[in-house]
Amino acid sequence: MGTARRIFLSYAAVAAIYGAGIPLLVSAAGPAIDRALRLPGLVPSPWGLLAGLALCAWAWFWIAWSFAFLVKRGGGHPNEILGRELAPTTRRLVTEGPYRYTRNPMAYGLILFYFAALAFLRNSISILAMLPVACAFEVWYHRSYEEPGLLRRFGDDYARYRAEVPLLLPAAGRKRAGPPPGRQGVGG
């Protein structure tokens, strides 16, 4: 299969899972559980709509910013599932831009997007209960699949980067001064 086709199919799969599948599942399941358990909404209108729109904008900012850095500075794409490459992965370790604040800015954006769904879609108590599970899954996935691959590809440079930058939640106080010695920064 050609590279362009692999890239297209990998983005189609990611969009289907994260852009449609999970949001549709959460937006249907959360309100159904709330109705069954007779739970009230969390945030009254119009505040839920406004909070959801603001969180959604912030989430997509982080996702787009990190994606642009991976493609431009890393020379590849972020699409791997369970350690299997769907599209050509980054060739350089990215430690600049959003990767100065968190090793996984796309996952951070995705979690923000889930909070936006909580506020925007239905203000669901059950969606709130699902968020810790989603966050725990993100941490497990990155530690179990992504980080071992990054250590194999980038070695000591990634190990130093991992020691300095938090896994998921941005930490402005711990930002790096720049890429590790001898490397052009990129991280995933």
Q: What is the pLDDT of residue 116?
A: 83
Question: Over the range 29-53, which residues count as b (16 or more CB within 10 Å of their CB) and which as e?
Answer: ebbebbeeeebeebbeeeebeebbe
E-strand stretches of 31-170: 80-81, 84-85
Q: 33 or 41: which carries more pLDDT confidence?
A: 33
CA distances from 57 to 11, 92, 130 (A): 21, 28, 21
Which single residue is written with the structure tokens 């020379």? 75
Q: What pTM, to 2 d.p., does this model score?
A: 0.74
How far is Cα 27 from Cα 9, in angstroms, rounded to an integer? 25
Structure tokens that stand for 26 in this block: 């959460």
pLDDT at 98 over 90: yes
Question: And the tokens for 173?
Answer: 């106080």
Task: Enumerate domains of the chain plus CATH numbers.
Answer: 3-174 (1.20.120)
Mean pLDDT on 74-103: 79
